[in-house]
Amino acid sequence: MTDPLLASDPRHLGGIRLLGRLGAGGMGQVYLGRTPGGRLVAVKTVHEHLADDPHYRERFRREAAAARAVTGAHTAPVLDADPDSPVPWLATAFLPGVTLGRAVAAGGALRSSAVRALGTALAEALTQIHAAGLVHRDLKPSNVLVTADGPRVIDFGIARAVHRQALTETGAIIGTPGYLAPELIAGDGPPATAAADVFALGAVLAFAATGRNPFGTGTVAILLFRTVHEEPELSGVPRASGLRELVERCLDKDPEARPTVRTVLRALRDPRPPLWWREEPVRSLVLADDPVPEPQDAPPPTVREAVREPETGPIRPWRGRAVARRGLLLAGGGGLAALFGYALLRPTPHGGGSGTSWDPVVRTGAAAGGSRWSLEPGSGEVDALLVAGAALLVHGTDAAGSSSGVVEARAGADGAPLWQRKADGKTSGWWGTSDGLLLAPDLGLPAVALAKGTVRVKKPQLAPTLGWFTSAGGLLLDSYAQTSSEWRTRATDPATGTVRWTTPPGPATVAPAVLGDALLLAPVPGTSTRVRCVGVRDGVERWTYPPTEGVLAVCALPDGFAVLTTTGKLHVIGADGRTVRPVQPLAHLDLPAGSTALAQSAGKLLITAGNRLYGHDVRAPWSRPTLGLDASWPKRLGGARAPVTGGGLLLHWRDAGTLEAVAPATGGVRWTAPVSGGVAQVPPVVAGPLVYAAAGSACTALRLTDGRALRSWKLPDRVSELAADEAGWYARIGKASIRAYDRPPV
């Protein structure tokens, strides 16, 4: 069905001609437009039912007016708005680029001088935002856009002007865990002030300097607890030029003790700041190199064909690559996160959902060389995919940022629907399959039979304070918060929903390790030092082990467990609780929390830490450079990370464009393969004799034995998730579509 706004008279939008729809949020639609003078803009409109609400229209009017007062080189301007139009709209500059989060994921942590330059830009932006009477409230890596002209702060003014009352839901917390100031977490705390933005600025700089969030990873409850009660992990922030000290001051729990934005600006200013965004691989990400042609089975031309512009300027400019679905990296400020889909961090009901408008369109019978079939949501977004036997599991949401949607199974052969279940919650990549069941507690579906989609646990007692979950001995095991500091582990029978056992209250634990009928529970750093082993079937404590420091990760070995501590010590413990091998000091390793994982393969302990991959044992330790955890180790059931292996090889991204196959036992490199198309951001996938590797908006199939490239495909936009089976491979393209491709001849 044609969007009526696309055919509307440009005079209704201040002369802006709409070129195509970029996406949708819970509050409205987002379009790409062109002004009469030829400038590309993002036009954000309000849904009709909200436009009829005087309360909401007044909120739109106030925030649009406040946002237009913000100026500066490091913010994105609001160009025009009409709150009184029949369809209220607001136009912001369209600035192609990538988020700071993507830039760091692709190129690693920024060097000290680049972090200082970034901090100066962000402090200048905050100065302008505060001068307009606004508090950002949601400064984070995904709200810092890296463009060809440097970093820009977007989505400022999320919820309130400083001197006015916020129009938000009672009891809601607005912001992002890990970047939200502690004084804003308590429901009865003080209103947001500039000091809250300084806290977020410190967290962003810590992320840029280390590649990890200063309060680690975990559920909303875990991150909020750490923010209020624990100190940030800043071990990788350089001390040079006082950067570490400044970040520590910004992250002080007491808002009165934090420096002002102007103090931060004075401390970071450099008379010759580096142009770090023009260095590889960030430069290629920002400029998006060459436009990617559509595959042969492409639908009719979309926005992308309408927005190509001639090259200008001293460096190669953006040329319109995949505008329609590039993560909606729109440089729009002025309360637009509030109006177009910010998250309210409050309990989310589980166990069913309240209806969905998810209505995907599947196209099959593609031409030779194109996709076997494709799926595009009629509304909403494709949030995740997962291969389960001959089926492909898809999680879709109603709209951008929505927590209401579906999980459905589709035939891998042609995309035909097999079953569908309503789901609540935004998937974090924790879901997985075990014993013929889909386990997705964070979506309100703790146990679903893969064959027919029937829910096995009909009344799950799962809270949004879920710490982790896994499956063992036919039971669903999970960790949840009873209070902010007391956690329990329990086992549930997925067939009946009966809770078999529950541990006494204790500290939160890292993702556990399972060996046979034994479950190893290790407390998160900063809470306790006692590691416990309990029985999977009865929850009875079997033994304890007391390392002398906090634990980063654990994994199971053929005859016991490995425990990696925050100070770089590796404890190898027998299944009976007795030490099998002496404690191995790994003090030479940099082990950043949140970017470190531990696993076992071919008798070798594998550790990914920052940008190094280590194989460890007493006889022949080895290490290799690697692009990092997110790009090389996919999430498995419950969010646990695991390396990609196949044919006796370990596959990982050595850098942003090189796939490497390593023998786990020796660290010997069997083969390397350059993969073109962009920057690698998703782990490779092994299926039978093939490995599929996606870099940017292209995917290459390689022979597993020798790395020979068999075929490459160009896709319409960046591959954000990859899966494969014996028949071929599947790509999630942004949040816009899923495409299925046939396996090439070996």
Tell me the binding residues for ATP.
44
Residues 711 and 725 sit within 8 Å (Cβ to Cβ): no
261-268 helix and 112-131 helix, angle to the nearest 10 degrees? 150
Pairing outcome for strands 579-585 and 658-662:
unpaired
Give 307-354 as a DSSP string. ------SSSPPP--TTGGGSTT-----SSHHHHTTPPB-S----SS-S
| DSSP three-state, residue 367 | coil
Preceding peptide of 281 cis, ω within 30°? yes
Alpha helices in 9-47 (DSSP H): none
Closest C-alpha to 363, from 415, 399, 423? 415
d(CA 598, CA 236): 19
- In the annotated binding site, the residues are 44
Dist CA 553 CA 109 (whole Å): 22
Distance CA 209, CA 204 (A): 9
**Other CB atoms within 10 Å distance of the CB of residue 249:** 17
Which residues lie closer than 8 Å to 389 by C-beta, 6 or more apart?
A: 450, 725
Beta strand residue intervals within 586-668, DSSP E = 596-601, 604-609, 612-616, 622-625, 644-646, 649-655, 658-662
Q: CA–CA separation, 739 vs 733, rounded Å? A: 8
Query: For tokens 């936009």, what's the residue?
Result: 717
The 10 Å CB-count burial string (b at 16+, else e) for 641-673 is bbbbbbeebbbbbbbbbbbbbbbbbebeebbeb
Distance of CA 640 to the CA centre of its chain: 15
Name the residue among 569, 570, 561 with its Cα closest to residue 543.
561
Question: Using an 8 Å Cβ cutoff, are 676 and 695 in contact?
Answer: yes
Q: Are 660 and 653 in contact (CB under 8 A)?
A: yes
CA triple 267-150-94, angle to 5 deg: 135
Contacts of 689 (CB under 8 A, 6+ apart): 647, 703, 704, 705, 746
| Nearest alpha-carbon partner for 371 in 410, 411, 408, 414 | 414
The three-state DSSP-derived secondary structure of 215-282 is: CCCCCHHHHHHHHHHCCCCCCCCCCHHHHHHHHHHHCCCCHHHCCCHHHHHHHHCCCCCCCHHHCCCH
> Of the candidates 55, 5, 61, which has an alpha carbon nearest to the alpha carbon of residue 29?
5
Hey, what are 692's tokens? 């599929």
Tell me if residue 105 falls in helix, strand or coil.
helix
List the Cα angle 603/605/606 in 5-degree steps: 125
Write the DSSP symbol of residue 500: E
Q: Measure the CA–CA gap between 296 and 370, rounded to whole angstroms.
A: 5
Beta bridge partner(s), residue 724: 729
Neighbouring C-alpha atoms within 13 Å toward the C-beta of 132? 28
- Residue 502, sorted as left (phi over 0), alpha (psi -120 to 50) or beta, turns out to be beta
Instruction: Using alpha carbons, select from 644, 617, 615 the residue that is nearest to residue 629.
Output: 644
